[in-house]
Structure formats: C-alpha cells, structure tokens
Amino acid sequence: MGGQACVFYGAAQFSKDVDLVLLASPENFSRLLAALAELNARRIAVPPFDPAVLARGHAVHFRCQGGHADGLRVDVMTRLRDLPGFEELWGRRTTITDAEAHTFQLLAVEDLVQAKKTQREKDWPIIDALVEAHYRVFGDAPDPQRVVFWLTESRSSERLTDLVHRYPAEAAALAGRRPLLRLAGTGNDEALRVALGAEVLAEQAKDRAYWAPLKAEIEAFRRAERVAAKPQNP
C-alpha cells in the first residue's frame, strides 16, 4: 500500500520500508506475529501492537533484525483515511506475479492514489506519476471506470485539458464532483493550476485534521512508555 506498490505500478518511489494494510481478525494477527517473529522484527516506535489501536487508524512500526531482511522496516495498518474496509479493498486489488512465481497483492491504483493524499509534499508528485502511468498503459483502451479515474485524479493541467476535450460529456457529468474540470476546457491554464494547488491544500488540511487526535494519542503512548521505563524507587 506504499512506496513498494508505487514501484509495481511504474511510479517509482525510493522506499526503505514495506507498508501493509491487513485484514483485522484474531487469526490474521496471529499469522502476522508469527511472520514478524520469523523475521526477528521488533517494534521500534509507539504505538504498541494492539488491534484496538490499529482500528483507530494508527500504524504500528517494526524493524527486522538479521538475515536477508536485516534493517527492513515494516509498517502495518488496518484502516486508511477515506477508504473502505479491508474486504472491499481486497475485492478490487491488483495481483501481480513475477517471473519466479512470487505473487504480490497491491492496493488497486485508484485506492493507492487516495492513500497517497497526505499532508506530505513528496506524495503529490507520486499521485501524478501513478495516474500518468495508468493513462500510458490504458489510454488507448478506455472504459467508463478508467475515464472517471483519469478525470477525477489527474494532477497535470495539460493532461486534464486533453482529457476534457477527449471526453466532454464525462467531464461535464463529473464537474459537480470536481469543479476545476470546468476550467480545463477554457484555455485558462493559470487558473487551472491554481485550482489544482487549492485541491492539494484542501486534502492536506483534511489529512492534518484526521491525524491530529491520533498524534495526541501517540504522545500519550510515548509518555506512558517513558514512565514505565523509569526505575522505581524501593
């Protein structure tokens, strides 16, 4: 669900970790813990591993020690902002098998784009690269779902202008959902770029608001762990 998935989709992103979204069930958590034990992975930051904490939207962070995965960080989540539950995400996943018959289950590109709408500046060029890579692959084989994806998620003023001219009826139907589509057909590229920037700022504000209570919880976890680590007077 993170940088490694972006690499598979052709939007290369240097990443030192593996981000996973998991099915939240007792049996699956047992399998996760067994896999982490096999990798000799240790939790490296708050919050603690707790299904209830994961259910509130936190990520739990581990670092592998020794072996081929030495130093690899693994981040685990069960809930993503503005995305449905695991079962729905799994149902529309992308499955890729490599030349050695290893199978990789990725967030659908549409869901990955949504997951990348964060307050971090570095994620927004990746969104543009993901949409552009998808268009390069499927631009000559459009279907209604793909056209909606391009029109609602493209970050390039040039691409949006091309799409609106290519799919005027679809763009008109989606303008209520994404008002800047009305600008894409006017030739006012500067206004369109300003509107694209405003979209970024709005999503970043949403992400900050989502994480604000979670960050407060993380600080509480840190304080609790510091207190627990202090030697107690006899």
Report the number of distinct structural domains present in the chain. Answer: 2
pLDDT, position 70: 93
Q: What is the pTM of this model?
A: 0.91
CB 19 within 8 A of CB 2: yes
pLDDT, position 16: 75
| Domain stop point among 111, 144, 167 | 111
pLDDT digits (tens, 9 = 90+) for 111-158: 999 999 999 999 999 999 999 999 999 999 999 999 999 999 999 999
Report yes or no on 190 lying in a domain.
Answer: yes
Task: Name the percent of the chain lying above pLDDT 90.
Answer: 87
pLDDT digits (tens, 9 = 90+) for 71-97: 999 999 999 999 999 999 999 999 999
CB 109 within 8 A of CB 9: yes
Q: 146 is in which domain, residue-wise?
A: 123-208
Residues 134, 195 within the same domain: yes
pLDDT, position 17: 87
- Grade residue 234 by pLDDT with cuts at 50, 70 and 90: low
pLDDT, position 13: 67
Partners of 60 in beta bridges: 76
Closest CA to 117 of 202, 59, 203: 203
Residues 74, 170 within the same domain: no
pLDDT digits (tens, 9 = 90+) for 164-191: 999 999 999 999 999 999 999 898 999 9
Residues 132, 186 within the same domain: yes
| Domain stop point among 111, 133, 156 | 111
Residues 100, 129 within the same domain: no
In this structure, the number of other CB atoms found within 10 A of the CB of residue 71 comes to 9
Residues 76, 162 within the same domain: no
Cis (ω within 30 of 0) for the bond into 47? yes
**pLDDT surpasses 80 at 15:** no
- Grade residue 2 by pLDDT with cuts at 50, 70 and 90: confident
Residues 131, 99 within the same domain: no
pLDDT, position 3: 86
Residues 12, 106 within the same domain: yes
**pLDDT surpasses 90 at 27:** yes
